[in-house]
Amino acid sequence: MTQLSAGLALYGASAALLVRGGLGLEPWGVLHQGLAELTGLTMGVVSIIVGAVVLLLWIPIRQRPGPGTVANVFVVGVAMDATLALVPDAHGPLARIALLIAGIVLNGVATGLYIAARFGPGPRDGLMTGLHRLTGRSVRLVRTAIEVAVVATGFALGGSVGIGTVAYALAIGPLAQLFLRVFAIPAADGGSTPVAAGTPAGAILRR
């Protein structure tokens, strides 16, 4: 539970660092920012609402949430808003690049922490794996289709797309794979569960 909580809080904080860097957000962050611009709500509140809506989409595709799934909806959004309140916008290219790198790396650490805790995937990851199972399409194709759709929608609403969006897409897979192994929780028999091979960990890595 400690690992799960730390991972979710760090995920929200890392997403906020990408916002403050101003060089482009991760795909779902683009959508959250666009909706925040449209509604006047904070990005954290929008993240919670979107997470809850996505979780409802699990019902027709027969996905089962775990405690980590529900915690993901709320903790990430709260941590994001808290970090945005504490960290000011970056000024100057060096500061922006530093926040971009920190946000991407910490997002990889967070992904490894909360998925390796094995309390259930996040709502967005579960949607991806559920559609993969339902349609028979590859995880890579399903993930790409979802992320292209959310980026396009978020960008149309005013979300930030830039070099950071591309850098995130290229780096998050290898980083997640690394930190899933670092934070893998030993199995009860003393062995280590190969988290990089199963769902949802494998779904995260097969980008």
Percent of the chain surpassing pLDDT 70: 90
160 burial (CB, 10 Å; 0-12 / 13-18 / 19+) is buried
Q: What is the mean pLDDT of the segment spanning 68-92?
A: 94
Q: Look over the chain and give the mean of its residue pLDDT values, rounded to a whole number.
A: 88
Residue 193 has pLDDT above 50, yes or no: no
Helix/strand/coil for 192? strand
Q: What is the mean pLDDT of residues 137-163?
A: 91
* 18, 168 contact by CB (below 8 A): yes
Handedness of CA 141, 145, 151, 152 (dihedral sign): positive
Give DSSP secondary structure letters for 111-151: HHHHHHTTS---HHHHHHHHHHHHH---HHHHHHHHHHHHH
Least confident of 10-19, 69-78, 142-151, 198-207: 198-207
Average of per-residue pLDDT across 44-64? 93
What predicted TM-score, i.e. pTM, was given to this entire model? 0.85
pLDDT at 200 over 80: no
Write the DSSP assignment of 7-61 as a string of letters: HHHHHHHHHHHHHHHTS---HHHHHHHHHHHHH---HHHHHHHHHHHHHHTHHHH
Q: Which amino acid is at 165?
A: T
The span from the first CA to the last CA of the chain, in angstroms, equals 27
The pLDDT, as a whole number, for residue 192 is 41
How many Å apart are CA 154 and CA 33, to the nearest integer? 7
Structure tokens at 200: 């949802």
Q: What is the pLDDT of residues 165-186, one digit of tens each?
A: 999 998 988 998 899 899 987 7
What percentage of residues in the chain have a pLDDT greater than 90? 61
Counting Cα atoms < 13 Å in the Cβ hemisphere of 94 gives 0
What is the maximal distance between C-alpha atoms in the chain? 52
- Each residue of 106-139: pLDDT tens digit? 999 999 999 888 898 889 888 888 888 888 888 7
Return the SS3 of 186. Answer: strand
Give the C-alpha separation, 199 to 207, whole Å: 13
Residues in the chain: 207
Which of 105, 135, 78 minimizes the C-alpha distance to 21?
A: 105
- The pLDDT of residue 143 is 84
CA distance 26 to 164: 7
Average pLDDT estimate for 145-151: 92
